[in-house]
Amino acid sequence: MTIEERKNLSQTTIQNLILENREKLSISGVLDVLSFDDQVVMVETELRTFNR
């Protein structure tokens, strides 16, 4: 994906990440959960891969 395509996509795509009381995590725009455990969650979103 080119930089211009990413700019256009990011202007039209809204994503939210909500962490409630350090217990519940909600993420919109997730295409796939690549891996997760009690320390790390790795997801692929419409904009890019996120690893935290």
pLDDT digit string (tens) for 11-48? Answer: 666 788 899 998 898 888 888 889 999 888 888 887 77
pLDDT > 80? residue 6: no
Structural domain harbouring 39: 3-51
* CA–CA gap between residue 46 and residue 18 (Å, rounded): 17
**17: closest CA among 50, 8, 34?**
50
* Secondary structure of residue 16 in the 3-state scheme: coil
pLDDT of residue 19: 92
* CA–CA gap between residue 47 and residue 50 (Å, rounded): 9
- Total structural domains in the chain? 1
CA 51 to chain centre: 8
pLDDT of residue 44: 86
pLDDT of residue 49: 60
pLDDT of residue 21: 94
Virtual CA dihedral for 2, 12, 47, 21, nearest 10 degrees?
Answer: 160
pLDDT of residue 35: 92
